[in-house]
Amino acid sequence: MTSWFLFSRRAALVALSAATLLAGSCTAPRTIVSTGKVTPKGEFRVGGNLAFNVATETISKTGSTLKSAAAATVSKDTVGYSGTIDNLQVAALAYVLDPVRPSSDLYLRYGALDRLDVGYKYAFGSHVFDAAYQFLGPTGTVERPGGTAGAMYGSIGLQFASQRASLPSLPFLDNINDILGFRATRHDIIIPLVFSHSLGAEEEIGAISYGVVYTHTFLRYGFEPGRVFNGNVKVPALLEQKTNFPSFGGFINAKLGYRYVYFIPSLGIYYQNYGNYQLLNNKTASLSGLTIVPSVGLQFRIPSSRR
């Protein structure tokens, strides 16, 4: 057991160091690494994930031409309102709604009841609180099996994520902030429905999981440009706007390891119609697209002290 705890400590430090490198990420975490079996009563699961968020709409709205235009515009003392300003606003919104960048998270889960676990996830900018209820499959543990290899499990979860959304400190996005004074906050409700097949009794060597996810996002945003003019008239700020939109997706993951340590690769695909957004100067924009979220993670199981 001593060697196991030393290994766990080293692995946890490596995971924490890797996650810290991506601490600038800021998006609602949609990486699903849970299985249909919730954390058994009295047990803990702790882990971390590294993911990459690939949003088709954001890619299409932040091309090299727009980046060059932003760099040229930011150097001016006054900026005339044009289609470039519209495009910069859309790029800022797209990036906050669904950024294209690496992300990371650390999480802790605890088995509160036989079929209910609760958890907290810190995604470096987003705080996630959640619970999951297991409606299918046995509730045993690796030490006290209640099921056999290949047993099927099912659970449904409810997650709440909250964050102050902001554009990261990258040259192109910094230019948008300087020109437009962009600000935003968002809250996300995430409901994953998960099914899994155990590898070994009670997931002793892991599980294969799949399911669907519903997400609903609530966004508040505004623009406060300091030097954008329409002719000789300064463009007024866009006061706080409120909007919301749903997202639908599916995922698959594999939990692979033995008893205490598991490696978890995962892939999720989502579609969302982000809706219509009010811009400066009474302009509007509409956004929609696919998002692909591949990830890899490491999870540690801490058994109950009860025998």
Q: Are 59 and 100 in contact (CB under 8 A)?
A: yes
Q: What is the pLDDT of residue 227?
A: 84
The string of pLDDT tens digits covering residues 110-161 is: 999 999 999 999 987 789 999 999 999 999 999 999 989 999 999 999 999 9
Sign of the Cα torsion 137, 138, 143, 148 reads: negative
Residue 164 pLDDT class (50, 70, 90 cuts): confident
The lowest-confidence range among 61-65, 95-99, 175-179, 290-294 is 61-65
Residue that has been written with the tokens 């409120």 in this structure: 242
Is residue 278 one of the residues assigned to a domain? yes
pLDDT in tens, 192-249: 999 999 999 999 999 999 999 999 999 999 999 888 888 888 999 999 999 999 999 9
Total Cβ atoms within 10 A of residue 19: 20
pLDDT band at 12 (very low <50, low <70, confident <90, very high): very low
CATH number at residue 153: 2.40.128
Could you give the number of structural domains in the chain?
1
Q: Which pLDDT score, from 0 to 100, does residue 174 have?
A: 66
Q: Kindly state whether residue 23 falls inside one of the protein's structural domains.
A: yes
Q: What is the CA radius of gyration of the chain?
A: 22
Residue 307, domain member (yes or no): no
With 0-12 / 13-18 / 19 or more C-beta atoms within 10 angstroms meaning exposed / middle / buried, residue 27 is: buried
Query: Does a structural domain hold residue 110?
Result: yes
Q: Is residue 154 part of a domain?
A: yes
pLDDT given at position 27: 59
**What mean pLDDT comes out for the span 96-123?**
92
| Domain that residue 214 falls in | 2-302
**pTM score > 0.95 for this model?**
no
Domain annotation covers residue 56: yes
Residue 63 lies in a domain: yes
Q: What is the pLDDT of residue 20?
A: 37
Task: Read off the pLDDT band of 21 (50, 70, 90).
Answer: very low
Quote the mean pLDDT of the chain.
Answer: 86
What tens digit of pLDDT does each residue of 183-194 get?
888 999 999 999
Comparing 8-22, 30-44, 174-188, the range with the smallest average pLDDT is 8-22
Instruction: Report yes or no on 50 lying in a domain.
Output: yes
